[in-house]
Chains A and B, each alone.
Chain A
Amino acid sequence: MPMTLAEKIIARASGRSAVSPGEIVTARVDLAMIHDSGGPRRVEPILKRLGVGLFDRSKVVLISDHFVPGDDEAGREILDLTRRWAAEKQVAFYDGVGICHVVLPERGHLKPGMFVVGGDSHSPTGGAFGAYMFGVGATEMAGVLATGEIWIRVPETILIEWRGRLGDGIAAKDIMLALCGRLGMDGGRYQAVQYTGEAIESLGMQERMTLSNMAAELGGQTGLIAPDATTAAYIREAGGEPGDISDWQGDADAAIAEHHVLDAAALQPQVAAPHSPANAADVDAYPDTPVDVAYIGACTGAKYVDLERAARILRGRKVASGVQLLVAPASRRDQERAAADGIMAVFEEAGAKVLTNACGICAGYGNARLGEDITCISSTARNFKGRMGAASSRVYLASPFTVAASAVAGRIADPRPMLAEGGPA
């Protein structure tokens, strides 16, 4: 029976030869990822109550990123508890070296065909590696840690095909904001979103991760990209083993529920107005919109590729007077690589303030939260009302190119003219 990539992974994980959309099955998980916010402090009391330990400590990865660096006492206590738990349970633990969705793949934990749960809504990021990965809450995660299994309703596959190539100054974030605007925050219907087409195949892994990650903003359960040579090369470099990627391709004649075809070459830089990623429009829909804060951060906006893009705009330029540019590189590795390449120096010379490798203000954590009436342009994934600070603050979402250009202009700006003219002499 022909199957989609999602169906093949779920069939394997549930011990069946085939599954069909709508069936509810119980699947064994290959990996469970948890972080400091929804992890030990929430799951351990449940495991204690159940009187059980971890189903398999070698299949659990813990990453602290939400309360890092521990700006207040409550945060420090949560981080301490996280560290004690990691030592006691002897699970793989990455402490304050970056955001879980970036650290997990960069340390080689993901491979095509895996069935993975994460204790965070942006867990579909793993789909960029051809893994069926999705987010769950803490109680459900505790159940997974106790039993090693979880129920899943076999999803339909929604295929999103981007033909052609992206223009210069256009990024994966633009693709996603355009999709949120077009399909809506529930366009994914909690099914499996799968990205395909020339524009997707030409993207590097970090850009693909942004697409898979923000399947959450489309309301999909996961966001898959079929593995290819780019995937395998990334996994090998991260110290992982990609396996035979030919096993993890959807069949050409598998049933697809929806097939959207879009033109990458026609895509303009996108900006999503407060308070929803679905409020996306071309950047020129926002003339004369001043910004107070520009934030280059989060799992969808501060990976190496994002930093590199922002630096292309910022090289030789300064942040506009009165604007605060905050940069929180998504992982320590990405920051070190950016430092070695001179990118971090570009940020400093432009007048940016560099923050910790953590989730930071994206999820309303930490000291840099937005104050009353602040307008922010941000490379993050979500701009819900009050998410990044005061309920009166306004967050516009955009690509790292557009955030950097807006920081320089002091108002929402198209990055392409700045790219075209290069840095000032």
Chain B
Amino acid sequence: MTTGRAFVYGDDIDTDQLAPGQYMAAPIETLAAHCLEAVDPAFASTVGPGDVIVAGRNFGMGSSREQAAQALKALGVAGIVARSFAGIFHRNAINVGLPVFTADVGGPIAAGDAVKLDVAGACLVNETRGGTIDLDPLPAFLLELINDGGLVPHLEKRFAKTRADARVQKESRV
């Protein structure tokens, strides 16, 4: 768990702002350099590992393009805490291993505050102001997906187990 800074945004941050259409054919590093530039031109060049996005309602509304979540992950963002998420973005974030939590955030956190996101404990520690914000816990299987690093490593584990089980069965038949 790394201490980072809070980047605070409002409601309705959409996927076109997170992953602008004109860079969709480009590698994720190129796309990530333009992440949120329409809202905050300094974001991509200042955000770094351990930083946390704190936002309002309906974060990630719009497209199914998961580059919206991947760009944030590529920039080192530790997670997102929002009042609510758009459904597809929420699924995408978890699938690429980016922690996302809903919470009634607001008053006790400001842009630039030193914060630490505790995924397992489902809380956001504010080191600048003191205090801890409780986050709505994720269902166990979604937390497992995040802990595995996303859907692909999770499925790798699953397929490896299936193959191992099949091998054991085959050997026991011999």
Chain A contact residues, CB within 8 Å of chain B: 24, 37-38, 46, 49-52, 67, 72, 74-75, 78, 119-121, 123, 134-140, 142-143, 146-147, 151, 185-186, 190, 219, 221, 276, 363-365, 369, 382, 384-387, 391
Contact = CB atoms under 8 A, between A and B. Distances in A.
A38 B64 contact: yes
Given A134-B88, A219-B86, 20 more contacts: A37-B65, A38-B65, A46-B152, A49-B152, A50-B155, A52-B159, A72-B25, A120-B64, A136-B91, A136-B92, A137-B64, A137-B88, A139-B96, A140-B66, A140-B151, A147-B155, A364-B16, A365-B24, A382-B16, A382-B62
A140 B95 contact: yes
Contact of A384 (B16, B69, B88): B16
**Listed residue (A137, A140, A365, A382) with the most chain B CB atoms within 10 angstroms of its CB:** A137
Interface of B: 12, 14-17, 20-22, 24-26, 37-38, 57-58, 61-66, 69, 84, 86-88, 90-92, 95-96, 139, 141, 150-152, 155-156, 159
Contacts of B91: 136-137, 140
A24 B92 contact: no
**Listed residue (A52, A219, A365, A382) with the most chain B CB atoms within 10 angstroms of its CB:** A219
**Listed residue (B87, B150, B152) with the most chain A CB atoms within 10 angstroms of its CB:** B87
A384 B21 CA distance: 11
B26 A386 contact: no
A386 B38 contact: yes
Contact of B155 (A143, A219, A276, A386): A143
Given A50-B159, A139-B150, A37 B16 contact: no
Contacts of B26: 74
A186 B86 contact: yes
A120 B63 CA distance: 7
Contacts of B84: 186
A259 B86 CA distance: 21
A364 B19 CA distance: 11
21 contacts: A37-B24, A38-B64, A49-B156, A52-B159, A74-B25, A135-B64, A137-B95, A139-B66, A139-B96, A140-B92, A185-B58, A185-B61, A219-B58, A219-B87, A221-B87, A364-B22, A364-B24, A365-B24, A369-B22, A386-B21, A387-B16
**Listed residue (A185, A382, A384) with the most chain B CB atoms within 10 angstroms of its CB:** A384
A74 B27 CA distance: 11
A50 B151 contact: no
